[in-house]
Amino acid sequence: MSNAGLIAQVSTKQKVIAFTFDDGPNAAYTPQILDIFQQIGAKATFFTIGEQIEQHPDLLQEMFRQGHEIGNHTYTHPHLTELDEVDCRNEILRADKLITTILGLKPQVFRPPYFDINQEVYRLLSTEHYSAIGAVNTDSLDWEQPGVQHIVDTTKAAAQPGSILLFHDGYGDRSQTVEAVRQLVSDFTADGYKLVTVSKLLQHTSHYK
């Protein structure tokens, strides 16, 4: 599922890690995630979908107001490599314009749906000055609701200083994800980790994996 060209890890000895959430904003689950992070003053990155933003623009503003990073996850969540260049660019830029209009700030990070990416998509992202973001814990399969403990255990096994972690706050029942994230946030912070946005994480080093 993961693509080797996506940034999933940075090389750093500092205990910093980035939690990311795809497919929102979602009225049921995004606020629960926000509460978890607000309780400890930590920050996350939300890779948002244009169609979801149009349904919940106030929620997007609240996410941003709380200091979280808003990333681009396309407008309709397609397989980008199956689109022609015009449609692919439209998927990226339509979501980009929506986020920029609502927040007054252009997103800097992008995650392709399904991690589906090729050189043409990389080129488009480079033209729009986006960093293409992956994750280290794709085996957690949180989108398939594999059980809270599975999400927790596989994420911990994959994580290290500088890791980018993948979760989902949109589409379907995300209650398992919420509970797993609640436990992981507590465990990582107890272990001395600082939870930061992806853009903040990328500032720690120029060496990506």
Total Cβ atoms within 10 A of residue 198: 24
22 is known as an active-site residue: yes
Name the residue among 192, 195, 199, 171 with its Cα closest to residue 181. 195
Amino acid, single-letter form, for residue 67 = G
The residues near 78 (Cβ < 8 Å, ≥ 6 apart) are: 91, 113
Catalytic-labelled residue, pool 22, 96, 142, 169:
22
The residues near 65 (Cβ < 8 Å, ≥ 6 apart) are: none
168 is known as an active-site residue: yes
In this structure, what token pair is assigned to residue 133? Answer: 């973001």
Amino acid, single-letter form, for residue 54 = E
Task: Note the Cα 4 to chain centre separation in Å.
Answer: 17
Catalytic-labelled residue, pool 56, 68, 168, 169:
168
In this structure, what token pair is assigned to residue 207? Answer: 């060496």
Angle between helix 175-190 and helix 30-40 axes, rounded to 10 deg:
10
Q: Which residues are catalytic?
A: 22, 168
